Amino acid sequence: MIADGVEDEEKWLAAGIAGLQQNAFYMHRALDSNNLRDALKYSAQMLSELRTSRLSPHKYYELYMRAFDELRKLEMFFKEETRRGCSIVDLYELVQHAGNILPRLYLLCTVGSVYIKSKEAPAKDVLKDLVEMCRGIQHPVRGLFLRSYLAQVSRDKLPDIGSEYEGDADTVVDAVEFVLQNFTEMNKLWVRMQHQGPAREKEKREKERSELRDLVGKNLHVLSQVEGIDLDMYKETVLPRVLEQVVNCKDEIAQYYLMDCIIQVFPDEYHLQTLDVLLGAFPQLQPTVDIKTVLSRLMERLSNYAASSADVLPEFLQVEAFSKLNNAIGKVIEAQPDMPILGVITLYSSLLTFTLHVHPDRLDYADQVLGACVKKLSGKEKLEDKKATKQIVALLSAPLDKYNDIVTALKLSNYPRVMEYLDSETNKVMATVIIQSIMKNKTRISTADRVEALFELIKGLIKDLDDTFHDEVDEDDFKEEQNSVARLIQLLHSDDPEEMFKIICTVRKHILGGGPKRLPFTVPPLVFSSLKLVRQLQGQEENPFGEEESTTPKKIFQVLNQTVETLSNIPAPELALQLFLQCAEAANDCDLEPVAYEFFTQAYILYEEEISDSRAQVTAIHLIIGTLQRMHVFGVENRDTLTHKATGYSAKLLKKPDQCRAVYACSHLFWVDDQDNVKDGERVLLCLKRALRIANAAQQMSNAARGSAGSVTLFVEILNKYLYFFEKGNPQITVAAIQSLIELITTEMHSDSSTPDPAADAFFASTLRYMEFQKQKGGAIGEKYEPIKV
């Protein structure tokens, strides 16, 4: 007959509701005709439906609520009856004639409520009677619902301070006594339920008990609403009595739930002033109680309270809340040696949040919490527990969120020690969180010591922490994280050159171990950061105090040279070449000829030995030419050597068009506008002629290979170079030379073997138009162009 099927239960509930409705119908009729006798009879029969044992608490609650609603009508009827002259005392006697005890007690509570309202007897006497009479029901579910009915109907009739029921005979003490007694009885019923019935139904029983919990907790809610309970009464009576019940019941479910209730229903001020007592209860709870969750909620509440207003902070200090919570946590952890590490970290995480809110100026507290956490973690392997590592990330993020400033977190000596316990994946996550915090808050990290500490924290991103290969690392994720490191490097800055140099050296030390995959991301920002420092120093008097130690561009260049070199070993020769050229240009601006020469040499060596891909060569040679063109620091000899090499490389490119373009680009190496000593018209012409020869050869090759001449584009490009130098006043570039080049192009374009190329045609046409335009401009330029026939 046990209703374990849901269907059965629905059936029982439907039957219960039907019985209830039928009797309610007759009750209504009796009420309408003011027939007290029938009203009592049918209401008692209606309430008999609540005698069932077949419903789960949820379903029982549905039935109970229907009865509850009906009883409100009955209550109003009772009120009307007393107005019509019926004695409430008689009514109170009369309802006790009901045959079954459960309906009798529901009716008694209902009349009792009217009785108190009538004030014909002291509220405390009626309440005392009712709470005692309810002992008659010892069936847990029925008893709990009956008593919760009592709690609800008496709720607004307690002799609270300022209430109409307070009087000479009735005080708030009586109200408290009544609620506490009801609470105690309910808790007993609730706990006893655990030990009734067969062991195999333990799970079902626990579920049912869990559903019933709010009926018990409701009493604490009622207490919290009693205005007369001031701090003293709470401290002296309410809290000790409630805790006594909680501790002594030795029931895991009850202890967990009721501690949570106490924390949630009573105000923060009370908790602060009774922390000793409240926290003292925790170690006395059953070892299986999930204390960490409850304690964390307490700390969360208090943190929110502290954050609500600065006015409340003195309260926290006055009661030494931090040290009390810290002690309590220590004791709980000690008392529960089997507590999983997740629990430990959760507790410390809550305590850290608490101290950050309450004592933002006490970094030592925060460090103390982290230290305690380290102590608990030590001796353990790296954490495998996903939830625990997540909790550590939360723990470590808390100071960042609070201070918006990694610099503060860097002062916490235990911070990196906690990070040690993260697996490398989580370590990276945390490092990313740290970098994001710095980015978001634009934190200035301006000393080498802090940079050292910071890189110690984010080393998960800087180098491989273990030897295992992480093949599964996503390429995009890796790029993303390395780019964030690069951004971070750019952000490190000190206005003091000495300190900045130290920062650079510190960063360098850390990133050099990053391995071939990371260096291409981390070296460039470091190089540019160093070059920025060079530029800053460049205007200044070299070594103004003659100090040996002071930072000079020369010193920085030495470091740079070694730094970039690491890239050529990876190998990443193209990147290294670019960076060497950047350095050369900076050295040029510092008037350091030997240094600039050295950088060029490095770049050339890379070009010769490492860069073999022809397209990479083209890119590299143009970079070399461009950079070299801008150099003014070189004496004739060095410059000759470098330009000679560059033209040599150009002429040796694989494809003829590439050769041609590189060679005519070289012409600029011999003619620099703002350098009077570099105006070698003859060699310019040599370059251009050589380019022409190559373009010719390209045409012929094309003819031989494909049977048609290639495009005239190269010739037009060379023509444009001629015009450039012609305008610049290079005496070697003559009208005749230009004229013959135009004719050559025209002939090529009209030859039978030429392939039509609209782009080249347009290019040529626009070049001619340009010349026409220059002619018409008049003045010196116009005169110059005048002899050319277009």
Partner 1 sequence: MPSRRRTLLKVIILGDSGVGKTSLMNQYVNKKFSNQYKATIGADFLTKEVQFEDRLFTLQIWDTAGQERFQSLGVAFYRGADCCVLVYDVNSMKSFDNLNNWREEFLIQASPSDPENFPFVVLGNKIDVDGGNSRVVSEKKARAWCASKGNIPYFETSAKEGVNVEEAFQCIAKDALKSGEEEDIYLPDTIDVGSSSSQPRSSGCEC
The residues of the shown chain that bind partner 1, judged by CB under 8 A, are 1, 12, 15-16, 19, 21-26, 28-29, 31-32, 41, 45, 48-49, 51-54, 57-58, 61-62, 64-66, 69, 72-73, 76, 100-102, 136-139, 142, 152, 155-156, 210-215, 217-218, 220-222, 224-225, 227, 260-261, 264-269
Structure tokens at 253: 């479910």
Minimal distance, residue 581 CB to partner 1, in Å:
54
For partner 1, give the closer residue by CB, 144 or 363.
144
For partner 1, give the closer residue by CB, 105 or 698.
105
Minimal distance, residue 325 CB to partner 1, in Å:
19
161 in Cβ contact with 172 (< 8 Å): yes
d(CA 516, CA 510): 14
Sign of CA dihedral 531, 532, 535, 537: negative
For partner 1, give the closer residue by CB, 58 or 386.
58
What is the residue type of 200?
R
At residue 787, the 3 state secondary structure works out as coil
Minimal distance, residue 397 CB to partner 1, in Å:
21
Minimal distance, residue 72 CB to partner 1, in Å:
6
Instruction: Find, among 292, 420, 407, the residue nearest to 351 by Cα.
Output: 292
d(CA 174, CA 153): 16
For partner 1, give the closer residue by CB, 211 or 610.
211
Structure tokens at 770: 């340009």
Q: Which residues contact 77 (CB under 8 A, 6 or more apart)?
A: 31, 39
For partner 1, give the closer residue by CB, 42 or 671.
42
d(CA 153, CA 167): 20
For partner 1, give the closer residue by CB, 49 or 251.
49
For partner 1, give the closer residue by CB, 120 or 260.
260
Q: Give me the helix-helix angle, 57-83 and 140-154, nearest 10°.
A: 40
For partner 1, give the closer residue by CB, 217 or 399.
217
For partner 1, give the closer residue by CB, 8 or 613.
8
Q: What's the chain's Rg over C-alpha atoms? A: 45
Beta-carbon neighbour count of residue 89 at 10 Å? 14
For partner 1, give the closer residue by CB, 221 or 331.
221
Minimal distance, residue 242 CB to partner 1, in Å:
13
* CA contacts within 13 A on the Cβ side of 746: 11
For partner 1, give the closer residue by CB, 136 or 167.
136
242 burial (CB, 10 Å; 0-12 / 13-18 / 19+) is: buried
Residue 720 DSSP class: H
Minimal distance, residue 615 CB to partner 1, in Å:
55
Minimal distance, residue 232 CB to partner 1, in Å:
16
For partner 1, give the closer residue by CB, 227 or 613.
227
d(CA 228, CA 241): 17
In total, the chain counts a number of residues equal to 790
What is the residue type of 401?
D
For partner 1, give the closer residue by CB, 294 or 692.
294
729 in Cβ contact with 706 (< 8 Å): no
For partner 1, give the closer residue by CB, 101 or 744.
101
Instruction: Find, among 36, 55, 175, the residue nearest to 111 by Cα.
Output: 36
d(CA 357, CA 466): 37
For partner 1, give the closer residue by CB, 150 or 587.
150
Minimal distance, residue 178 CB to partner 1, in Å:
16
d(CA 696, CA 103): 116
Minimal distance, residue 52 CB to partner 1, in Å:
6
Minimal distance, residue 41 CB to partner 1, in Å:
7
Minimal distance, residue 137 CB to partner 1, in Å:
5
Minimal distance, residue 213 CB to partner 1, in Å:
5
d(CA 197, CA 179): 29
Cα 94 to Cα 38, 105, 117, 147, 291: the distances in Å are 12, 12, 18, 21, 49
At residue 472, the 3 state secondary structure works out as coil
Give the 3-state secondary structure percentages of the chain, helix then strand then coil, rounded to 5. Answer: 75, 0, 25
For partner 1, give the closer residue by CB, 212 or 333.
212
Minimal distance, residue 212 CB to partner 1, in Å:
7
Cα 726 to Cα 265, 676, 692, 695, 730: the distances in Å are 93, 17, 16, 20, 6
258 in Cβ contact with 217 (< 8 Å): yes
The owner of tokens 């009772």 is 78
d(CA 105, CA 136): 8
The owner of tokens 């305008």 is 727
Q: Which alpha helices (DSSP H) does 336-447 contain, by range?
A: 341-358, 363-377, 386-403, 406-410, 415-419, 424-441
Structure tokens at 194: 């655990």
